[in-house]
Amino acid sequence: MNRLFKAIAAFLLLFVVASCNNESSIYDGFKKMENGAYMKFYSKGNSEVMPRLKDEATFEMAQYFNDSLLFTTAGDEPMRLILTEADFTGDVVDGLLMMHVGDSARLAVSADSVFTIMFQMEEIPEEYAGKPIYYDLKLLSVKPFETLEAERNKLLDSLKREEEAFLTPLRDDPNNKVTESGIIVLEKTGKCKVATLGDYVNFDFTMCNPKGDTIMNSFGVETVEMQYGEEFICEGFNEALGMVPEGGTMRFVIPSTMAFDSTGYEAYILPYTPLVVVLTMNDVMDKATYEKQQEAKAAEKEAEKQRLMALENKVIVDYIKANGIAETPTESGLYILPQVAGEGNVAQWGDEVAVHYVLKNLKGEQIESSYDYERPMYFKIGGGEMIPAIEEAVMTMAPGAKVTLITPSNLAFGEFDWGEILPPYSPLLIELELVEIK
């Protein structure tokens, strides 16, 4: 991923939706089905079975734009999808709903609609504008909604029994304490103060399922700091935060009724999963103490920022002297050192341009290069997609021009920390080439 871009570019989804733009040209040779899908059947199966909404369809799929294959299930497992009603007509679901088991067909959708409706983009990429995206589909099988429901109910019953088998001996153990709400305290240390509503707490925790698989962990990763009373993870965890003394540790089990109950949480936590938690309470602070602490941290951070910025200025001055650079910086503090002259008009605000770049620190150590991606980077000047230094410099360049930029951190990555190779508030050396102005 290119670090220079501040926004991640949207890629085509496997399942896209479309409305009917330029139907006469985009959908030539395709039949409009009763639900709005545009289809062309290659072959018909012998089955009378058709999927319905809420059924699970198993199918093979290949996605094409022009003659380019974007995605295929060939050589891999077929796709399985529970069919839900689409927000727009003409998507893959609509195509599948028009097929019988064994059918093979091609579905056409409008790329314009994909970008403007699905991705909510104001501008359609030029190469896609006014063209279709195709899906070759083969419906392999259909599992009825009723069967899915029966399987799910069977699974839920099994998970519920497993939870009860896990919790019962823990509840019956006289060494454990069961709270009125159902939390099972297995072990607890510490005798200091506990948090009351409005206090601020600083803690670490590990959360596992009964098999010992880690679901979440903050130890050695990132300590959690929050105001007690705010929602965090689940009801049982929130209650437990008020039970652990400052400096103490508690190991406890949260029954699913106080966690994610019969729904679970996406693919991470199954329904009826009790949570086994180890929680260490590092600090409990009243609001006034917490605010003083934050003020002290902010002052310390600002002092460190000023120190690093002063050091940065010295590093740039020393580099300029050591390399005998006579150019004067721009008003923003950017040094633009011409290397190769370009030909034609200089890029202007609002132009779409393509550039190659190499990023280095002032020691000459390379951080990133667009040449490694084997293609230039496109962006619109003024669109906020590139760091300010490149946007400023490119407006002094004609196609083919190459420059070297000595860049203060406020025109590059500021307080962003790339580790030893580029700490916060570090100047940047950029080799920049303007490939073209579109």
- pLDDT digit string, tens, across residues 367-380: 999 999 888 999 99
pTM for this model (two decimals): 0.62
Among the listed residues 104, 176, 187, 189, the one whose alpha carbon sits nearest the alpha carbon of residue 140 = 104
Q: How far apart are CA 125 and CA 111, in angstroms?
A: 9
The predicted-structure confidence for 199-255, as pLDDT tens digits, reads as follows 999 999 999 999 999 999 999 999 999 999 999 999 999 999 999 999 999 999 999
Q: How far apart are CA 343 and CA 398, in angstroms?
A: 6
Mean pLDDT (the chain, rounded): 89
Q: Which residue has the tokens 């929050």?
A: 226
| pLDDT for res 354 | 93
For range 22-50, the mean pLDDT: 87
For range 343-348, the mean pLDDT: 92
| pLDDT for res 196 | 92
Q: Does 308 score more than 90 pLDDT?
A: no
| pLDDT for res 420 | 82
| pLDDT for res 25 | 67
Output the CA torsion 67→73→75→77 (10° steps): 180
135-144, 161-170, 307-316: which has the minimum mean pLDDT? Answer: 307-316
Query: What are the two backbone dihedrals, phi and then psi, of residue 356, each rounded to the nearest 5 degrees?
Result: -110, 145
Nearest 5°: the CA angle 36, 40, 41 is: 120
Q: How far is CA 263 from CA 42, 83, 159, 218, 278, in A?
A: 41, 19, 11, 25, 23
For range 119-144, the mean pLDDT: 88
Q: How far is CA 414 from CA 282, 381, 422, in A?
A: 32, 20, 10
CB-based contacts of 106: which residues, under 8 Å, 6+ apart? 30, 39, 40, 42, 134, 135, 136, 137
Q: Which domains does the chain have, with CATH numbers?
A: 23-143 (3.10.50.40), 171-285 (3.10.50.40), 314-437 (3.10.50.40)
| pLDDT for res 17 | 33
| pLDDT for res 129 | 85
Band (pLDDT 50/70/90 cuts) for residue 21 is very low
Q: How far apart are CA 402 and CA 405, in angstroms?
A: 10
| pLDDT for res 11 | 31
Band (pLDDT 50/70/90 cuts) for residue 1 is very low
| pLDDT for res 113 | 75
Beta bridge partners of 139: 59
For range 104-120, the mean pLDDT: 84
Query: What are the two backbone dihedrals, phi and then psi, of residue 299, each rounded to the nearest 5 degrees?
Result: -65, -40
Q: How far apart are CA 80 and CA 51, in angstroms?
A: 12
Q: Does 291 score more than 60 pLDDT?
A: yes
- Above pLDDT 70, what percent of the chain? 94
Outline where DSSP puts E strands in 240-322: 249-254, 275-285
CB-based contacts of 293: which residues, under 8 Å, 6+ apart? 285
| pLDDT for res 277 | 98
Q: Does 10 score more than 60 pLDDT?
A: no
Q: How far apart are CA 410 and CA 388, in angstroms?
A: 8
The predicted-structure confidence for 57-98, as pLDDT tens digits, reads as follows 999 999 998 888 989 999 899 999 999 987 778 889 999 999
Q: Does 119 score more than 90 pLDDT?
A: no
Q: Which long-range contacts (CB under 8 A, 24 or more apart) does 414-418 make?
A: 415/305, 418/367
Outline where DSSP puts E strands in 115-222: 132-143, 177-178, 184-188, 200-208, 214-217
For range 339-344, the mean pLDDT: 92
Question: Sign of dihedral through CA atoms 343, 345, 346, 347?
Answer: negative
130-134, 135-139, 247-251, 329-333: which has the minimum mean pLDDT? Answer: 130-134
Q: How far apart are CA 187 and CA 252, in angstroms?
A: 7
Count of residues making up the chain: 438
For range 289-305, the mean pLDDT: 89
Band (pLDDT 50/70/90 cuts) for residue 3 is very low
